[in-house]
Structure 1
Amino acid sequence: MNSNTLNNILHYKNEWIKLHKLKKPLESFYSNIKNQKFLKRNTKNNPAFILECKKASPSIGLLRTKFNIPKIIQVYKKYASAISIVTENKFFKGKFKYLKQASQCTNKPLLCKDFFIDPYQIYYARYYQADAILLMMSILSNSQYVIMSNVAKKMNIDIVTEVHNISELHRALSLNADIIGINNRNLKNLSIDLKTTCRIAPLVPSDRIVISESGINKYKQIRMLSRYVNGFLIGSHLMKSNSLKKTVCSMIYGKNKVCGLTRVEDAFIVKKSGSIYGGLFFYKSPRYIKLRDCKKITSQVKLKYVGVFYNSCMKYILSRVIKLSLAVVQLHGQENQDYIKKLRSLLPKNVKIWKALPVFNNFPIERYNYINCYLIDHKNGGTGKNLIGILLKKNNVSKMMLAGGLKLNNIFQASTLGFCGLDLNSGLEISPGIKDSKKIRHAFNIIKNFPAQYILKN
């Protein structure tokens, strides 16, 4: 969205307002407006995730061809603190009826995202069940903001005040904005810079709520920005996804795996809690699982299953991959490059290969071709030994998973180290292979949330 596009949007919005004031005058629906939920209440806990329904954008075009609000909300409501609905119709293909549809599917607060320049729009948004609106400092003067803010407060509508630079922030603070949305996108040239949040957020008083908007598409970005803000507004990345639930879980929790599954009930809790992967042990181990038990798990609980092998015969690996439709083969032994190359040629193209790298006193430097992801772990895995102290030195671990000694008392710290996900096992067990459902739920709550003292404020 460049300046010309923004001007075109605002010109169209003025025409839209004139037309709708004639078609649907305020007095025709004012008496039917009700006061209801509050966004502030749901964004005070850290972190708040505002997940967005957006059909298209001027910069990308159509984001989601099958734009079904009830189906989207069905996924979002399990993970979102609030839900954003883009209602601008010409450039973003939005509709106000999407707000009403969403309100019928969830009790979560609904943020109406549009280009608000006239009080009429606020009443209109509330009529369609909006609980909050977005006011952009870039398109409103101070006097316009005051008028809009007074109407919103009268209607018990929360306001997310969007800023992109320090000047806009100072204006917003002088106008007593209490929820600050920091837009990482420069509307003049469409560039995205997540450091915008890092620059602006520390200047916001600690009694305000800060939301980071735009350009957030990775779990590691959320962990990086979590030091500065109370929450995130995520839209385009989710809307482009062909697997919405998986993408939401990956964004909020990371691409985590709970390994050593032996029971259907454990796999069910693992999936429900937000894990992407479930691990099945196919080598001599207290967590070894027979094929018939694997079939029960994989047929009843839809996770991405990872077969864990240790110096195994390739024929054995292939049989398990085919019979169980494994998504990943994880190599935990001394498999060398020749072994990996041959295995890659035999496996279906959609099956990935992960390799565990042993850690003793130093970060491993081995690298192999045909490996999609590395796991940093003690030599044989499942030892319960903590690696975090070894890994505090700077290493590029964004395409690696962390395993080994992860328990409830160190999972949060582990989640801040920059790995794409965590491999959880013995720390969530009652006994080898028997998971503790309370520990699983608690672990994923820790991964999702972060303590208030983690936020950097002045």
Structure 2
Amino acid sequence: MGGAIPAGPRLVSVLERIVVAKREALRRRRELLPLERLREGLAPTTRSLRQTLRTTPCGYILECKHRAPSGGVLRADYDPAALARSYAEVASAISVLTDEPFFGGSLEHLAQVRAAVTLPLLCKDFVVDPYQLFEARRWGADAVLLMLSVLDDALLRECLALAGTLGMDALVEVRDEAELARALRAGATLIGINNRDLATLEVRLETTERLAPLVPPDVTLVAESGIRTRADVRRLRPLVDAFLVGSSLMRRADLGRAARELVVGRLKVCGLTRAADARTAWQAGATWGGLIFAPHSPRAVTLEQAAALRTAVPELQWAGVFVDAEPATMAAHATTLALDAVQLHGHEPPEVLAALRGALPTPCALWKAVGVPLEGPARAAFTLPAAAALGADRVLLDSQRGSQRGGTGASFDWRGLAALSEATRAELLLAGGLGPANLAEAEALGLWALDLNSGVEDAPGHKSAAKLAACAATLRAAGGSRRGARG
């Protein structure tokens, strides 16, 4: 039942060492727990990873991984159950590394995650024996990874058949055309393309771009390795049904925010006045909240109200919005509230920004809103100022009608922003009339963040949970997938 590493180019020695160690560990485990006892009372799973991915426009399998041979310890405070809970609001499924000597995992980690979340669980290990499928199911897995760099065809077919008996899905991992052909011949219906070259450890997203067109439409396709940013997602999203993401998230201290920004992009919900709305914004996928301190705004909050919101949802990063306020006042608010950014939405000249920057606490960012005329000669004459020229870290573009900047509920024609350089677009936030109807087009611009306000409200300052959820769903699906949502 052991199988052999397939013939072909010599694999990197670390993989060979892993396989040798895995077989020896399995020999010891089988002595302690014979297969007959392991199988006793084992019930098939009722959660389907593949079906979950097939009914989601773009799926995300987010991973719990302690360390890796190529990267060392990825997360010192590794708590797989806590990590899974951080992922749960945006993930389609959770992957758990269970290899112990090389990745610091264990089957017990799988059980801990199973107790923490209800999402489908993928047991990610180096399967060299069908015994491991029984183990994975016993400890709570709904799916297993089968690597064609490790399995020969006979063992692959045996594992696929056993997975079906246990009600489990098998994610069959391939690295090249030859392995893809083997997976398809074996009848794999859930295939992962690993963008990492096991010989060099180099990651190339071109691997998915090369292999994806060869995969039949009835096969569910997952991109693995090298998906670090929202730009990577935009690049591969039309080619695959889902992404498996691990190392890039494990290295982030702000894991919850990192997961949200990968899945829906960087989203700010401005004009928050109620703690319940702030919590709903976070649950929907937003990572920034906006507190308006302009007295004339129907969404204005006091310093005390802002502090209560900040305390109620500390997971959000918070920006304070001011209109022609005194620098000392803005700096005091930023210090008291520990704001992550101050957003100037008035006619503040560069010298005010310079004075404010010197007074702001570290690392509070400084953003300057620029009104973009909706129409007429002023719109034709508009030119985009650089953030540095304004003395700001980033520029927020908002619709302007007459002298009214922001709060118009209307969108200017921002399609031309696509022609800007990547560096310039990375400085920009976009606001003004954004909602479910136009978010997909706005997201495709690749700006630093999108800013929602009136487009997700039932009344000024009262955010709609349904509209926020619709925005999150739109952003998750933006750009489509190989086939979109299917039944």
Are 2:323 and 1:310 equivalent residues in the alignment? yes
Contact persistence 1:337–1:368 (CA under 8 A): no
1:375–1:96: structure 2 CA closer, same or farther, 3 Å change rule? Answer: same
Aligned to 2:8: none
> Aligned to 1:364, which of 376, 384, 389?
384
1:96-175 correspondence to structure 2 within 5 Å: 96-175=107-186
Q: Check whether the contact 2:263–2:476 (CA below 8 A) recurs between aligned residues.
A: yes
User: Alpha-carbon deviation of 1:435?
Assistant: 2.5
Counterpart for residue 4 of structure 1:
13
Which residue in 2 is equivalent to 1:288? 300
Shift of 1:383: 2.3
> For residues 392 and 115 of structure 2, what CA distance do their matches in structure 1 show?
46
SS in structure 2 of the partner of residue 20 of structure 1: helix
Structure 2 partner of 1:85: 96
Deviation at 1:432, TM superposition (A): 3.1
C-alpha contact (below 8 Å) 1:152/1:159 kept by paired residues: yes
* Contact 1:110–1:130 (Cα < 8 Å) also in 2: yes
Deviates more, 1:359-368 or 1:249-258: 359-368
Q: Displacement of 1:394 after TM fit?
A: 5.1
What is the rounded CA distance, in whole Å, between the counterparts of 2:263 and 2:393 in structure 1?
A: 22
Contact 2:48 2:142 in 1 (8 A): yes
Aligned twin of 2:463: 435
Q: CA deviation at 1:455?
A: 4.8
SS for the counterpart of 2:332 is helix
1:415 maps onto 2:443 in alignment = yes
Cα deviation digits, residues 33-55 of structure 1 (max 9, x gap): 22112211211112111111111
Q: One-letter code of the match for 1:322? A: T
* 1:26 partnered with 2:35: yes
TM-score w.r.t. length of structure 2: 0.87
Q: 1:188-267 maps to which residues of 2 (within 5 A)?
A: 188-267=199-278
Aligned residue identity for 1:414? A
Does the residue aligned with 2:396 lie in a helix, a strand or coil? strand
Looking at structure 1, the residues matched to 481 and 59 of structure 2 have their Cα atoms a distance apart, in angstroms, of 15
The question of 1:35 aligning with 2:63 is answered no
Identify the match of residue 374 of structure 1 among 387, 392, 395. Answer: 395
Contact 1:73–1:102 (Cα < 8 Å) also in 2: yes
1:299 corresponding residue in structure 2: 311
Q: Summarize deviations over 1:258-314 as a string: whole Å, max 9, x none.
A: 112233332232223221111122234343333333233223332321111233321
Residue 73 (1) aligns with residue 93 (2): no
Counterpart of 1:332? 345
Q: 1:334 to 1:320 in 2, by over 3 A?
A: same
Q: SS of the counterpart of 2:85? A: helix
- Say if 2:364 is the partner of 1:351: yes
Q: 1:248 aligns to what SS in structure 2? A: helix
Verify the 8 A CA contact 2:90 2:285 in the aligned structure 1: no
CA RMSD in angstroms comes to 2.3
Provide, for residues 2-34 of structure 1, a one-character-per-residue CA deviation record: whole Å limited to 9, x for no partner: 802111111212222222222322122111322
SS in 2 for 1:226: helix
The one-letter code sitting in structure 1 at the alignment partner of 2:406 is G
- How many angstroms apart in 2 are the aligned matches of 1:200 and 1:375? 39
Kindly state the Cα deviation for residue 454 of structure 1 after the two structures are TM-superposed: 6.6
Amino acid at match of 2:85: Q
Q: Which amino acid aligns with 2:364?
A: V
Secondary structure at the counterpart of residue 227 of structure 1: helix
Name stretches of at least 5 consecutive residues in structure 2 with no aligned partner: 1-10, 373-378
Shift of the alpha carbon at 1:117?
1.6
Structure 1 contact 224–416 (Cα < 8 Å) conserved:
no
Deviations 1:207-264 (A, max 9, x none): 1111111122222322332211111111112222222222222221222111122333
Deviation of 1:399 after TM superposition, in Å, equals 4.1
Deviation, structure 1 residue 381: 2.3
Q: Does the 8 A contact of 2:443 with 2:478 survive in 1? A: no
Q: Calculate the TM-score normalised by the size of structure 1.
A: 0.92
How many angstroms does 1:451 deviate by? 7.6
Matches of residues 54-73 of structure 1 in structure 2 within 5 Å? 54-73=65-84
Letter in 2 for 1:25: P
CA distance in 1, matches of 2:115, 2:48: 16
Aligned-residue offset at 1:412: 1.9
Deviates more, 1:348-357 or 1:291-300: 291-300
For 1:367, the aligned partner's letter is A
1:335 to partner: Cα distance: 3.8
CA distance in 2, matches of 1:271, 1:107: 20
Instruction: Give the conservation status (yes or no) of the 8 Å contact 2:194–2:225.
Output: yes
SS in 2 for 1:104: helix
More displaced stretch, 267-276 vs 387-396? 387-396
Distance 2:443 2:266 in 1: 11
Q: Aligned-pair distance for 1:93?
A: 0.8
Deviation at 1:337, TM superposition (A): 4.1
List runs of 5+ in structure 1 lacking aligned partners: none
* Residue matched to 1:389: 415
**What letter matches 2:464 in structure 1?**
D
Alpha-carbon distance, 1:332 to partner: 2.6
Contact 1:220 1:398 survives alignment (8 Å) = no
CA contact (8 A) 1:279 1:306 kept: yes
The SS at the match of 2:231 is helix
Q: How many Å separate the matches in 2 of 1:352 and 1:193?
A: 34
Partners of 1:406 and 1:245 lie apart in 2 by 24
Distance change (3 Å), C-alpha of 1:251 and 1:146: same
For residues 372 and 197 of structure 1, do their structure 2 counterparts lie closer, same or farther at Cα, with a shift above 3 Å needed? farther
Given that 1:219 and 1:252 are in contact with CA atoms closer than 8 Å, whether structure 2 keeps it comes out as: yes
CA contact (8 A) 1:185 1:215 kept: yes
Q: How many residues align?
A: 455
